Structure 1
Amino acid sequence: MIQSIRIKKLIVEGDYYKRTFPFTLGLNIISGDSYSGKSLILKLIDYCLGDKEKINLNVQKELGQFCDHVFLELVIMGNTYTLRRDLKQNTTKIHIYYTDSQQLSSFIPKIVDYKDLSRFILDILEIPEFKRIKNKAHDTTKTTESISFRDMLRFVYINQHELGTKNFLNSENSFVKPKNKPTFQLLHKLINPDLDALIQQIVDNENKIKLLEREIESLNQYLKERDAEDQLLLLTELNNISDKINRKKSEKKKLLQQISDKKSENNKLYNEVKLEVINQARELSNMEELRRSIQFSLSSKRNLLNDYNKELEEMVATKEAFFHYKYDHHEHHCPLCDSMIKMNLPAESQESINQAISQLNKKISTLVSSIQQNESALNEANSYIKKVKGRKDIYDVAFKEFSENFETPFLAEIEVLNSFISSFQNNENLIKEFVRVHKKIEEKNNEISSAEKTLERLRAQEQGLRVEGKVEENVLEFLNKEYRALLKKFNFSTDPLVDYINTDSYMPYYHDASVFDHESGGLVMCIQIAYLGAILKLKIDQPELNHPGLLMFDTVSKYLGINSDVTDDERLDPQSYRAIYSFLIELQDNVQIIIVDNTPPEIASEFIKYEFYRNDLKGFINMDLNEKMKSLE
């Protein structure tokens, strides 16, 4: 088995749902109905491996409804890692656990931004960083950009929008397309970093080792200060505490069962009293709310009555002033000519005041009557509340007697058990924290070991390793031979003069035309599969190459012809379709392949790993396979 990276499990999980998708070595096929979630498996694998695009939960509604996290357990260069990425919050962060998915609780994860996952994986694969020179946007100066693990994944995962299209290797993206050639070179070790970059990598690795050593020293000091340096002793103590917790929980469970049995003896009467207590409390609350409403209304009306009385007093005073004031007994002069003016009090003024006083008296009379009604209603409410409180007090006493009768005999025992359990759990959590620190030290020691290997390799390269022209010739010779052989296997005639992998771009050509120039979807797909298949066969022949040894295709059957008489150039005849699967079956003895396809041919039926259906939650989300429900059964 030639394998740099292998997918072991994809796990999706929410508060009430969990499903695990294990994958075997070799060929894994996900088949079934359209729109049943088949492609989502590959998207989530890609998401965990650092795809910048969030999963659109408006489209993947069932995933968003049931799941919050996705986990990817994988083996890289023989070591197991689990990656966790959230689906709804903090989606830019990836949690890295140096263990399988069954032991996550014992490990403290390394948390990285999704952009930094690439460097982490390349370090494990012992692939040096390679930067290509590029022109700056809107500038004549130059800059550099790194070839990342995400660039390598374009040669591993071909989604359904790229397979059989001109967007193969995301070539329609003008920022990505120039990186395909150096990525091909990196996959096949046809390039080495220049001396300056190499020296910088050596310095970076030396600094990384020193930093890790300081971190380990700090962690060891933390354990020393807490007398927790012996991990074996901690694990033994952890097992003992776990046994104690289980015993105390078992005792508590028995007591609770005894309480439950005792309650059931008088359960009917107990429930009746409890229900009456609730009803009396509800009725009392309603009446008190009514009383507050009446009191508020009464207060408002009394304030208004005071205002009316003040206004009435002012009007009566005004009327009396008019009666005593004699307009015609006073001299009045014109402000312009100072001549004498005779003044008479208009009769309508006194009439208006009398009318206003009469209306105000009516309002006061009506308001006094309303206040009397409110006062009467308030007295009735107070009387009724007093009666309800009396009834409630009786039922409260009865309910208290029932409760004490049920709970008291075992209450002290339960409190003691809870105290023991809480104390044991606190000790357990503390020891678990110490164990996690020990695991973190082991992880950092592994990182140091990996960095030292990388440093050793970089120093060897520093001595002047160069890729000779003969190496590139041998690589292209092998790839061309396998590329044409696969096209022939897929029922396409070949000629070495016009069917080849271009030495400048390293892209496949058929009949002297690039894969990006052909129009037939079926032909383009076969060229792509033949090209990637040849690369994988070279990986099998030369395991030391940088290719991850993994292949993922999405929906090969979209270019399948209905029968052998189909003449539509866009479609692929069934013989070619079966030939593709025949090749994948041959290839699966040495690499891992994950294929999404609606209806794979009969020859591939034994490799169908999952079959999804569109309706009744029988697809990617399948409630019959909910592991959290099974754990509760």
Structure 2
Amino acid sequence: MKTNLSPKMIINKLILIGRDKNYIVPFSSGLNIIFGDSDTGKSSILNLIDYLLGASEVNMYDEIEMHGQYALLEINLNDQVYTIKRDIFDSNAYIEIFKAPVDQINQVFPKEYGPHSRKEGPSGYLSEFLLESLNIPRVKLKQAPSKVDSKMSTLSFRDIFKFCYMDQDEVGNKDILDQKNHSVFVKNKETFKFLHHLLDDKITLLQEEIGEKNRAKQSIIQQFTIVSSFLREARLESMESLEDKFTQLKEALQTVDLEILDITQSMKANSEQDEEIRKLVIDKQGQQDNLSMSRMYKETQMDQNLRLKKDYLQDIDKLTASLEVIRKMPKNESHHINCPICDSELKAAKFNEIFSHYDSTSIEQEIKSLKNRAKELTALIEQDREEILKLISEADTVQDEIRRAKELLDIKTQDFVSPFIAQRDILLRRRGEITEEIKRVEYLKKLRNQVNDLTKRSDQLANQIEELNSQLEILAASAPSVDGVLGGIGDILNDFLRKIPIRNAYGISISKNTFLPVVRDKDYSKLTSGGLRTLVSVGYLISILRNSLGSQTNFPSLVMIDTVGKYIGKTKPKYLSLTNQAEDRAEGLSDPLKYKNIYDYLISMCEDLLSKHDFQIIVVDNDLPENMEEQLEDNVVKKFSAVPREGYEIGFIDNATQRA
């Protein structure tokens, strides 16, 4: 039987809910590996987990922004499974938590928590939920530990998680755990002491936590009493009764659906004999549509001819008037006439000069030509009119045929189909009633689950109080010493670095001043080789985890590292300035055996301890050590390739456009 002396936190599943599909990453206890090409979304998986556990933001690279909606995290906290739901586009929105696995969240009501200390949710803060679920006391840490009157700051889950997760910028970083930021680093050191029960006022804090949990338990008992009384008065059935009713309703719904299907098939069989009539109606309607289109075309054509004829007649009138003017022009050029508009005197010579270029013969010929065209148009218009009347008559005939066919179809439908329709309507109403009843029963089941949850919560608090009391007794009897804790973690780190192995593996310990690694009697920040810092920082987190499995600590049983191969012969250009490359070569860090030995150590650790304790290590890297793919096959949860490759996904968002 597995026993964990420290809090248990295991990631079961990460799901990014997308617009087109869902993107699922399953995890298990022990070693979990994600590897593949650059820019395929490996780091985003750890980033999403971190975000769902309260980080202030998520790395929204293009594919996630285009395809994602929200994220779900199924997580085991001290053997209770929860599902955390968070909006990836609004980091300030409430975080929903379901006390159920992902596939059962529709059976329970979620609770809403504030994402950070500046926004409290209806159920409190996410940090408080995580600490309480892990049975980690909510305490305040001194901002200046050496001062008696130091101000206090609240310990959050995010403070603890810094010791669980190193992203690719932090692995091998000189300033691990924010050493350059004094106030933050002081809190990180206090958090380390809290994780390992090294705070001087630990006993007082435990007593305070026990008191808070006792008060919370009494509050839940009062809530349970009130709710139980209400449910008894409302005569709400038991969960067993509701489950039976739910099963019966589901069976009744299935029966009704089968009856509706039978009637639909019967209606279809009876309607086959009416198919010829329906086909006739469809054909006639198509014929009627064609007649309407032909009529529209003819009417448009006739309208155009009428307009053209009108233009011709207007031109004839104008030419006739011109001809009349020419005929009446005075022959005597000395003759004077008066202007019909202004009554001024005009000489006939001037008048004849203006109109001399007009030829009456050409005008008469043009008039004759226009009259012939108008006559032709008259004939075309009459022809169009006759064809339109013919089309109207044909359309009326077809409409009458459609009407008679529909009347016959209505009679047959009334005789054969109407009874089926009536029966089907009755069944559909019955189906609606059953569906509504199912929804009501589901709601009542959720209420019952909520009541049961109060009972479980009370039991959980009782167990936590009992466990805290045990811790209090142990602390009172023998509080752990700083030397003992740091010595234990240092011994594990020493073992790790010797198995890699690093050169000159001596003077390995944990500093009493910084609680960070010391190698060759040098503080971690003084190590100039980025590759050596990578090995030491990875070993540091693994050592803290391994120590927590055999000791009572407040450290959750999870470590996430991105990327374990940094500076070890696989340094990205942007990190080259952060390491002394000559020192890296002197350390022999390009030796592939060192890279392989990291994974050998992790595999050996899992083989030795997983049968006794539940813990989880999630690592991200660009590839696996040579000749280890088969050995690590069961530990690989995702492997990505930027180009199509058998057995690999093209990226976390595997339906995105392939990268160039």
When residues 270 and 31 of structure 1 are mapped into structure 2, their CA distance, relative to the original with a 3 A threshold, is: farther
Equivalent-residue separation in structure 1 for 2:189 and 2:213 (angstroms): 27
Equivalent-residue separation in structure 2 for 1:224 and 1:600 (angstroms): 61
1:429 aligns with 2:439: yes
The residue type equivalent to 2:154 in the other structure is S
Counterpart for residue 31 of structure 2: 27
SS in 1 for 2:600: helix
Counterpart for residue 624 of structure 2: 600
Equivalent-residue separation in structure 1 for 2:19 and 2:434 (angstroms): 27
SS in 1 for 2:585: coil
Q: Are the aligned partners of 2:86 and 2:95 in contact in 1 as well (CA < 8 Å)?
A: yes
Equivalent-residue separation in structure 2 for 1:512 and 1:388 (angstroms): 108
SS in 2 for 1:516: helix
Q: Are the aligned partners of 1:191 and 1:467 in contact in 2 as well (CA < 8 Å)?
A: no
Q: CA deviation at 1:527?
A: 0.8
Equivalent-residue separation in structure 2 for 1:276 and 1:213 (angstroms): 77
Q: CA deviation at 1:594?
A: 1.4
- Alignment deviations for residues 353-385 of structure 1 (CA, whole Å, 9 cap, x no partner): xxxxxxxxxxxxxxxxxxxxxxxxxxx9xx9xx
1:411 aligns with 2:421: yes
SS in 2 for 1:553: strand
The residue type equivalent to 1:587 in the other structure is M
Counterpart for residue 235 of structure 1: 243
Q: CA deviation at 1:535?
A: 1.5
Counterpart for residue 307 of structure 1: none
1:132 aligns with 2:160: no
SS in 1 for 2:25: strand
1:609 aligns with 2:609: no
Q: After TM superposition, list the pairs within 5 Å mapping 1:77-476 onto structure 2.
A: 77-88=78-89, 92-115=93-116, 116-134=125-143, 143-171=151-179, 176-191=184-199, 193=201, 201-259=209-267, 270=278, 405=413, 408=418, 410-456=420-466, 465=475, 471-476=481-486
Counterpart for residue 344 of structure 1: none
- Alignment deviations for residues 311-366 of structure 1 (CA, whole Å, 9 cap, x no partner): xxxxxxxxxxxxxxxxxxxxxxxxxxxxxxxxxxxxxxxx9xxxxxxxxxxxxxxx
Aligned-pair Cα RMSD in Å: 4.4
The residue type equivalent to 2:83 in the other structure is T
The residue type equivalent to 1:53 in the other structure is E
SS in 1 for 2:650: coil
Q: CA deviation at 1:478?
A: 1.4
SS in 2 for 1:169: coil
Q: Are the aligned partners of 1:192 and 1:466 in contact in 2 as well (CA < 8 Å)?
A: no
When residues 547 and 266 of structure 1 are mapped into structure 2, their CA distance, relative to the original with a 3 A threshold, is: farther
Equivalent-residue separation in structure 2 for 1:231 and 1:30 (angstroms): 42
SS in 2 for 1:9: strand
Counterpart for residue 577 of structure 1: 595
1:620 aligns with 2:620: no
Equivalent-residue separation in structure 2 for 1:539 and 1:197 (angstroms): 20
Counterpart for residue 513 of structure 2: 504
Q: CA deviation at 1:394?
A: 8.3
Q: Are the aligned partners of 1:487 and 1:493 in contact in 2 as well (CA < 8 Å)?
A: no
Q: Are the aligned partners of 2:143 and 2:150 in contact in 1 as well (CA < 8 Å)?
A: yes
Q: Are the aligned partners of 2:503 and 2:587 in contact in 1 as well (CA < 8 Å)?
A: no
Equivalent-residue separation in structure 2 for 1:443 and 1:395 (angstroms): 67
Counterpart for residue 335 of structure 1: none
When residues 488 and 461 of structure 1 are mapped into structure 2, their CA distance, relative to the original with a 3 A threshold, is: closer
Q: Are the aligned partners of 1:9 and 1:20 in contact in 2 as well (CA < 8 Å)?
A: yes
SS in 2 for 1:526: helix
2:498 to 482, 485, 488: 488
The residue type equivalent to 1:245 in the other structure is L
Equivalent-residue separation in structure 2 for 1:400 and 1:40 (angstroms): 67
Q: CA deviation at 1:263?
A: 6.2
SS in 2 for 1:7: strand
Q: After TM superposition, list the pairs within 5 Å mapping 1:35-74 onto structure 2.
A: 35-56=39-60, 59-61=61-63, 63-74=64-75
When residues 586 and 457 of structure 1 are mapped into structure 2, their CA distance, relative to the original with a 3 A threshold, is: closer
Q: CA deviation at 1:522?
A: 0.9
Equivalent-residue separation in structure 2 for 1:263 and 1:516 (angstroms): 85
SS in 2 for 1:567: helix
SS in 1 for 2:481: helix
1:561 aligns with 2:538: no
The residue type equivalent to 2:592 in the other structure is P
Counterpart for residue 587 of structure 1: 605
Counterpart for residue 308 of structure 1: none
Equivalent-residue separation in structure 2 for 1:107 and 1:537 (angstroms): 36
When residues 581 and 422 of structure 1 are mapped into structure 2, their CA distance, relative to the original with a 3 A threshold, is: same
TM-score relative to the length of structure 2: 0.69
Q: CA deviation at 1:547?
A: 1.6
Q: Are the aligned partners of 2:82 and 2:97 in contact in 1 as well (CA < 8 Å)?
A: yes
- Alignment deviations for residues 109-151 of structure 1 (CA, whole Å, 9 cap, x no partner): 222122322211211222111211237xxxxx96422222222
Structure 1 stretches of 5 or more lacking a match?
A: 136-140, 288-350, 352-379, 625-633
Q: Are the aligned partners of 2:142 and 2:190 in contact in 1 as well (CA < 8 Å)?
A: no
Equivalent-residue separation in structure 1 for 2:203 and 2:479 (angstroms): 19
When residues 524 and 452 of structure 1 are mapped into structure 2, their CA distance, relative to the original with a 3 A threshold, is: same
Count of matched residue pairs: 525
When residues 229 and 272 of structure 1 are mapped into structure 2, their CA distance, relative to the original with a 3 A threshold, is: same
Equivalent-residue separation in structure 2 for 1:275 and 1:213 (angstroms): 76
| Deviates further, 108-117 or 198-207 | 198-207
SS in 2 for 1:96: strand
- Alignment deviations for residues 53-80 of structure 1 (CA, whole Å, 9 cap, x no partner): 1452xx142x344432322222222222
Q: Are the aligned partners of 2:277 and 2:409 in contact in 1 as well (CA < 8 Å)?
A: no
Equivalent-residue separation in structure 2 for 1:90 and 1:82 (angstroms): 17
Greater radius of gyration (CA): 2
Q: Are the aligned partners of 1:95 and 1:110 in contact in 2 as well (CA < 8 Å)?
A: yes
TM-score relative to the length of structure 1: 0.71
Q: CA deviation at 1:592?
A: 1.6
When residues 394 and 448 of structure 1 are mapped into structure 2, their CA distance, relative to the original with a 3 A threshold, is: farther
The residue type equivalent to 1:48 in the other structure is L
- Alignment deviations for residues 577-613 of structure 1 (CA, whole Å, 9 cap, x no partner): 1111111111223332111122111335322222123
When residues 599 and 202 of structure 1 are mapped into structure 2, their CA distance, relative to the original with a 3 A threshold, is: closer
When residues 266 and 551 of structure 1 are mapped into structure 2, their CA distance, relative to the original with a 3 A threshold, is: farther
Q: CA deviation at 1:184?
A: 1.2
1:528 aligns with 2:528: no
Q: CA deviation at 1:33?
A: 2.1
Counterpart for residue 515 of structure 1: 524
Q: CA deviation at 1:166?
A: 2.9
Q: Are the aligned partners of 1:559 and 1:570 in contact in 2 as well (CA < 8 Å)?
A: no
Q: CA deviation at 1:270?
A: 5.0
Equivalent-residue separation in structure 2 for 1:387 and 1:515 (angstroms): 101
When residues 194 and 22 of structure 1 are mapped into structure 2, their CA distance, relative to the original with a 3 A threshold, is: closer
Q: CA deviation at 1:387?
A: 11
